[in-house]
Structure 1
C-alpha cells in the first residue's frame, strides 16, 4: 500500500476513529452541521442585505464573517463527509495542500475581519463626530479587500514553498491537512518555518494585539458615560466572544500539531472536529442573539405577529 501511495502521491489519513463502525453516524453529524452552518450564516447575510438600516460598516463586516464561514465549511466539510463513508481514507497531495491553504487562509481572514470590526467600533465609540468621515464606503471596501487579500497572498507564497517539498512519508495522523503535514516531508525547511512564523505574526498576533488595544481604549472611555457603556457592551461584547472563540480554537490547532504523537487518536479526533465545526456555527448564534439590530429582524421573521421589543 505504501509503495502504491508513494507512486501516486496519495496520503493515508489515520486520524479517524472507528470509521467502519460509526462512519455513517459521523456523516449525519457533519452533514447536519454543514446545513446549519449554511442556513444560519445565509440568514445573517440575507437580513443584512435586505434591510437598509443594517447597511452600516459594523453589519457589513458581520456579513463578511458569515461569507467567510460559508466558504470555509464548503471547502473543508465535503472531503470529511466523503471520508466518513469511504472504505479507505486517503487524500492526494494537491488536495491536501489545497485543504491546508484554505484552512489557514480563511482562519487568517477571520482575524483580519475582526480587526476591521474593532477599528470600526473604536471610531464609532471614541470618535463619534468623525465617524461618518472616517468610515466611508471606500474605506470599508479597502478594509474588506485587505482582510481577504493579505492572508491570501501571504499563504500563496507559503503554498509555493510547500509544493516544492518532497514527500517521504505517506501516513498522516490527523484528519485535515494542517501544519502537521510538514512531518511528511523528507527534510525540514528553515525557510518555510521562518516564513510561517512571519505570516502567523502578521495575521494573528498583530491583529489580536490591535483588537485588545482598541477594546481597552473603548472600555476605558466608556466609564465616563452610561450611554457609552451600554453601546460598548451591545456592540463590542459579541466581537470579543467571537475573538475568544476563534483564539481558543487556533490554540487547539497549534496544540494538536505539537502533541500529535503523544496524545491519543480519540482525543485528537474529537478536538479536531470541535475546531472545525463549532466556530462557523457559533458566529451566527452569537451575532443573532447579541446584536439587537439583527436579533430584532430574526424575531420578526420567526414570529411575524409579535412585535419585537
Structure 2
C-alpha cells in the first residue's frame, strides 16, 4: 500500500492529439448540466407535491438521485481532462472514482429490482398493494438497496486495495476495476472470482425482473386498467432496465475483449452507462407518468406567468 499510494495513473481514453477539445468540453458540460437539471426537476416535483408521495414515485426519486451520483463520478473528471494537457489520476482518486461508479451501478440494479417488485404487486395483486408496500416497507427497501450496494462495492474495493500495482496506463476515460486489476503484478484470482459472482448475481436480478414482467404482461392484458398501468409505469421501467443493462454490457465486453487499441469513440461508448441512463430515465418517466408530467407542466406554467 505504501508503493500504491505513490502511483499516478495515465488515462489514455482521450487521444493526446484530440482536436476541438473546447467543442467536446461544451458538449460534455451541456450533457452534465442537462442530466442534473432533468433529475432535480423530477425529484423536486415529487418532493413538493403531496399527491406524488407514493411508493413508485419515492423509488423514482431514489433512481434519479442515483443517476446524479453516477453522472457526477464521471463528468467532472472528464471536463477537467478535456482542458488539461496531462490526463492523470492518483491512486486514491482512482479508488474513489471506482467506488462511486460501482456504487452507482449496484444501486441502479437494486433500485430497478425494487421498482419491478412494486409494479408486480400493483398490477398482479392490487388489493394487497397497500399492505405489502407500506411506508415502513418502502423505507426498508430503500435502506436495503443502499446497504447491499455499498457492501458489494466495499468488498470489491478491499480486494483491489490489497494488490500491488505495477502498471500505470489505463486505456479508458475513467478508472474501472477490471482495468486496474490487469495492472497488478500479483495473483488476482480472488478479484476475478468475486467479479464473476457479482456478475452472476446482477444478471440473475435482470433475469428475475424479466421473468416477473412476463407474468405481469399476461395479467395486464386481461383488463383495461391493467394495460394502462403497464403502459404508464411498467413500460418505462422496462426500457430503463434494458437501456442500463445494454450500456453496462457494452462497457464490460469492451474492457475484457476490446483489445489494446485506444479509440476515442469506443471509449465514449464504453462510458455510455454513466451518460445515457442518468439523462433519459427522468425524461422517460416524466413523459409517461401523467401525474408527474401534469405537475411539471403546471409548475413551469405558473413560474412563467409569475415572471411576466
* Same topology, TM > 0.5: yes
TM range (shorter): over 0.9
Report the equivalent of 2:184.
Answer: 185
Report the equivalent of 2:140.
Answer: 142
Report the equivalent of 1:237.
Answer: 235
Give, in angstroms, the shift of residue 232 of structure 1.
Answer: 1.4
Give the 3 Å change call, closer, same or farther, for CA 243–6 of structure 1 in structure 2.
Answer: closer
Report the equivalent of 1:194.
Answer: 193
What's the C-alpha RMSD, in Å, of the aligned pairs?
A: 2.0
Q: Which has the higher contact order (CA 8 A, sep 6+)?
A: 2
Report the equivalent of 1:252.
Answer: 250
Residue 19 of structure 1 contacts residue 84 of structure 1 at CA under 8 Å; is this kept in 2? no
Residue 9 of structure 2 contacts residue 88 of structure 2 at CA under 8 Å; is this kept in 1? yes
In structure 2, C-alpha distance between the alignment counterparts of 1:17 and 1:305, rounded to whole Å:
45
Residue 171 of structure 2 contacts residue 262 of structure 2 at CA under 8 Å; is this kept in 1? no
Report the equivalent of 2:96.
Answer: 98
Give, in angstroms, the shift of residue 88 of structure 1.
Answer: 0.5
Residue 4 of structure 2 contacts residue 164 of structure 2 at CA under 8 Å; is this kept in 1? no
Residue 5 of structure 2 contacts residue 91 of structure 2 at CA under 8 Å; is this kept in 1? no
Moved more, 84-93 or 205-214: 205-214
Alignment of 1:205-284 (within 5 A): 205-261=203-259, 264-284=262-282
The answer for unaligned runs of 5 or more in structure 1 is none
Moved more, 68-77 or 37-46: 68-77
Report the equivalent of 2:114.
Answer: 116
Instruction: Report SS of the residue matched to 1:303.
Output: helix
In structure 2, C-alpha distance between the alignment counterparts of 1:237 and 1:169, rounded to whole Å:
45
Q: Give the alignment's TM-score, normalised by structure 1.
A: 0.92
Give, in angstroms, the shift of residue 50 of structure 1.
Answer: 0.7
Give the 3 Å change call, closer, same or farther, for CA 249–188 of structure 1 in structure 2.
Answer: farther
In structure 1, C-alpha distance between the alignment counterparts of 2:67 and 2:234, rounded to whole Å:
20
Moved more, 7-16 or 53-62: 7-16
Report the equivalent of 2:62.
Answer: 64
Give, in angstroms, the shift of residue 193 of structure 1.
Answer: 0.8
Report the equivalent of 2:83.
Answer: 85
Residue 45 of structure 1 contacts residue 66 of structure 1 at CA under 8 Å; is this kept in 2? yes
Residue 71 of structure 2 contacts residue 278 of structure 2 at CA under 8 Å; is this kept in 1? yes
Q: Give the alignment's TM-score, normalised by structure 2.
A: 0.92
Give, in angstroms, the shift of residue 289 of structure 1.
Answer: 0.7
Residue 13 of structure 1 contacts residue 172 of structure 1 at CA under 8 Å; is this kept in 2? yes
Structure 1 residue 74 corresponds to structure 2 residue 72: yes
Report the equivalent of 2:291.
Answer: 293
Deviations along 1:50-108, whole A, 9 cap, x unmatched? 11111010000000001101122222211111111111011111111111121112111
